[in-house]
Chains A and B, each alone.
Chain A
Amino acid sequence: MRHLLKGLIVSLLISFMLPTIAVQIEFHSFENAQRERLYLDLIAELRCVKCQNQNLAESNAELARDMRDKTYEMIVAGKSREDVVNYMTARYGDFVLYKPPFKSKTLLLWMGPPILLFLSLFFVLKMVRNQSKALPKQLSDADRDSVRDVLKNNSSSEK
């Protein structure tokens, strides 16, 4: 019991530590809270192209640091969110965005999940309806007799 408790506490502590390990520590100062918010939003939304399943905020890759620095530089220079996104997509394509723009090339990406959802809903509804319509099979006399026999045998063998 004691070991279990110890293990629980340790694993809880580790789970608290995990997010702090991932956070990159760089000190940037901003003129106002809005710009800081924009910076934090952007580095969360832009993808590190080197380590592809992390955003800029989470990645330790040197390239991610460069991209964060560039983002910071542009924001401090008074550039808008759109400017930064345009700068990054001009160099790395839509790939750099975790939220890809809606256009003909990404149509399937955006429309696929809702289409799948509606299709599956449609089929589930259809199945449920068919189930309720189908009448349960009527038992014949022979069926009843055989069941009765089984029950009788069962109860007699228990005694």
Chain B
Amino acid sequence: MNKKFFIPLIAFIALVSLMLFGLKNDPKVIPSPFIGQEAPEFSLPKLYKPDEMVTAQQMKGEVWVLNLWASWCVSCRAEHKVLSRLINKMQVPTIGLNYKDYGTEDYGDEALRWLAKYGNPYQSVAVDTEGTAGLDWGVVGVPETFVVDKKGIVRYKFTGPVYDEAVDKILVPLITQLRKEEG
């Protein structure tokens, strides 16, 4: 048979596989340039105790999690239960970075009300009214969750609300593994 007969078929298969590959890529998940880099420093007032500062430096020496959230963020509410389960199960210190929420005129003390209503799983909540720390961490949209190792290196970023399967299959094994590493 003529070999040319197969050229369109091969081209078609190549095109379909390229498109299938594209389907599996979520364009909203932007690979974070922070993975493997030192966690960006921040120093923000603490919720409940505005005189105290929350910094990334304080967390050095242990595996910790940074979770960006806001009371106006609907998917944060959906994520809250799952995240609380992770924090309780792993007893992992977690800083909640309250992104552009508390203190702004529009929202008042919504953050406090939100935590009173749904529970506060965080070790401390850092208040980022202006969103500057958020920008430093390369925020695209809340919620976002980072895992930082004992040396203060960002090891993982989860974009969007964490779900049960991601907790069991990604975050729990990762935190367990990072804890075994030298500090």
Contact = CB atoms under 8 A, between A and B. Distances in A.
A52 B25 CA distance: 14
Interface string A57-69: 0000011001100
A83 B28 CA distance: 26
Contact of B135 (A52, A70, A89, A93): A70
B141 A95 contact: no
Nearest to A90: B33
Interface string B132-152: 000111111100000000000
Given A52-B27, A66-B131, A91 B141 contact: no
Contacts of B22: none
Given A66-B135, A70-B135, A93 B31 contact: yes
How big is the B interface, by class? 10 to 19
A99 to B, nearest CB: 17
Interface string A38-73: 000000000001101000000000110011001000
The interface residues of chain B, by DSSP majority, are classed as loop
Interface residues of A, number: 14
Contact of B141 (A63, A66, A90, A93): A63
B135 A67 contact: yes
A49 B30 contact: yes
Contacts of B31: 93, 95
Nearest to B100: A62
Nearest to B34: A91
A50 B139 CA distance: 9
Contacts of B100: 62
B132 to A, nearest CB: 8
A52 B138 CA distance: 15
Contacts of B139: 63
A93 B30 contact: yes
B75 interface: no
B32 interface: yes
B135 A95 contact: no
Interface string B1-35: 00000000000000000000000000110111110
A49 B32 contact: no
A15 B129 CA distance: 39
Contacts of B138: 91-92
A52 B30 CA distance: 10
A93 B33 CA distance: 5
Interface string B89-100: 000000000001
Contacts of A90: 33
A99 B28 CA distance: 19
A92 B137 contact: no
Interface of A: 49-50, 52, 62-63, 66-67, 70, 89-93, 95
10 contacts: A50-B141, A62-B100, A66-B135, A91-B137, A91-B138, A92-B138, A92-B140, A93-B30, A93-B33, A95-B31
Given A92-B138, A92-B140, A93-B30, 10 more contacts: A52-B27, A62-B100, A63-B139, A91-B33, A91-B138, A92-B30, A92-B33, A93-B31, A93-B32, A95-B30
Interface of B: 27-28, 30-34, 100, 131, 135-141
